[in-house]
Amino acid sequence: MDRATQLTARNTGHSTPLRTISSPPFSGHGEIAGAEAVAYDPAVTTHSASTSHSLHVRAARVLEDNWTGASTVPSHGLYPHQWSWDSAFIAIGLRHLSPLRAQTELETLLDAQWGDGRIPHIVFNPSVPLDAYFPSPDFWRSSTAGRAAGAPRTVQTSGIVQPPVHALAAWLVHRADPGLSRARGFLARVYPRLAAWHRYLLHRRDLGGGSLASVVHPWEQGMDNSPCWDAPLSRITPAPARSFRRADLDHGAAEDRPTDLDYGRYVRLATDYRDAGYADGAGDFAVEDPAFNALLIASEHALARIAEELGAAGTARHARAERLTAALVERLWDPAEGMFFCRDVRGGDLIRERSVSGIVPLLLPGLPRETTDALVRTLGGAHFGLGDSTRLVPSYDLLGEAFDPHRYWRGPAWFNTAWLVERGLRTHGEQGRADALRQAVLDIAGTSDFAEYVDPYTGDACGATGFSWTAALTLDLLHTGPGDDASPTGIRTFEMSDKGGDRG
């Protein structure tokens, strides 16, 4: 019996809800060793018990295969290092296999945090050849170019960031095994670092003066070549094609990846940021993005829960999250379109391109009811077609001129955004829609071999297969029953701490 099968070897028809019975230790090779069984209740999924068991085992095997000893790569070929928001999503799934390894995933990432509080979007593995991925450590030059910003000297990183899912992940990992977490002092060690990360975003990245964080590179938002960036990127003179070599095309089809023109602009922006010592505020690209800020707000709620667990008051952080939610609605919401839009800080205007980023704020507890109702209508309408023409949420407007069902973030459906939208639907009482989306994630993750992303109409795999966050979030949804009202912030039905109620 292989290691992944051992994870679910006992009593798969047990009548208790999904839960991890114990925290398995590591073997000498970083495997999940000695794991107790995870029990399945057929009532919590429309999959049969045998199908759920098989999906669980296959997802666990992906995470085992992509484990490096201290963290998990998204995929060995295309992404052979540690990525920031990938690790947060991976930890959310790993908590169901090994809470210890989930904690280690986050701790490894936080060990590379910069002195100014930023968490870099890549932590480079020194054993990986430089030509395996571009931009490589010799491009970013973090330990020299980032010295003034407090870049670590003992590990090489990129100089930009990714969406702040980390406090949310840390809270969910703690909840998976509070006894282990308390015994290891997990939250006490990560809390100061997460607080510094949020301070960096809330102060150093408030480039528009409206309390929201700005991204200074499309890679920071995570949806690299979204049509939302086309207008602000048009101001950027691309780096010459001969000045860099795209390693991604060695592992992915060109028609699934950003174009050379896009890449040239990405390289120019990153070069200028590096050459300015990674100082914020001077570049030509600055955008307030709804998904990035929604994840910051959700993580601020989670950070409040962490503070409360550590014996401090969380009220101020919940209140800050509510103020940020109000700022998000004020600056990025368009009631006529029923969408959140990005704002071009340099130009000052909303970027009226419909992307999944404008749906992700459904995750948030403090949204006005009319806003959540409008988002649900938009999600099921002609522009996204969820439950009608599509089963997973497309990354971009089905009716948009730039729509492409296969090209990265210009149309394909992604599993991490599906997970975020599913959690948002469930939190706001849209249980039927959440159940259907959950089922679609489980079905398509399995049939696509845990693809990086898929055609939103057909579910055909695009990009890499055996992708870590797809496997991890599949595990998380397997451990979440259709009737559950669990909020990703850990606040049931989004009752704020200063309003009373059971937030367990």
Residues recognised as catalytic: 224, 452
Handedness of CA 81, 306, 168, 182 (dihedral sign): positive
Q: Note whether 205 and 198 are within 8 A (CB).
A: no
Residue 389's Cα: distance from chain center in Å? Answer: 25
Residue that has been written with the tokens 């599913």 in this structure: 422
Q: What values do phi and psi take at 71, rounded to 5?
A: -160, 180
Q: What values do phi and psi take at 340, rounded to 5?
A: -90, 140
* Residue 374: half-sphere exposure toward Cβ, Cα within 13 Å: 16
The DSSP bridge partners found for residue 288 are: 214, 343
CA angle 270, 274, 276 (to 5 degrees): 120
Q: How far apart are CA 243 and CA 415, in angstroms?
A: 33
CA nearest 233: which of 247, 212, 246, 216?
216
CA nearest 361: which of 463, 437, 289, 442?
289
Q: Note whether 418 and 440 are within 8 A (CB).
A: yes
Q: How far apart are CA 204 and CA 187, in angstroms?
A: 25
CA nearest 125: which of 169, 96, 155, 161?
155
Q: Note whether 405 and 457 are within 8 A (CB).
A: yes
What is the DSSP pairing of strand 333-334 with strand 453-454? Answer: unpaired
What string of DSSP letters covers 132-198? GSSS-HHHH-HHHHTGGGT--SSS-B-SS-----HHHHHHHHHHH-HHHHHHHTHHHHHHHHHHHHH
Burial category of 431 from C-beta neighbours within 10 Å (exposed 0-12, middle 13-18, buried 19 and up): middle
Residue that has been written with the tokens 């990938």 in this structure: 86
The DSSP bridge partners found for residue 123 are: 82, 157
CB atoms within 10 A of CB 422: 29
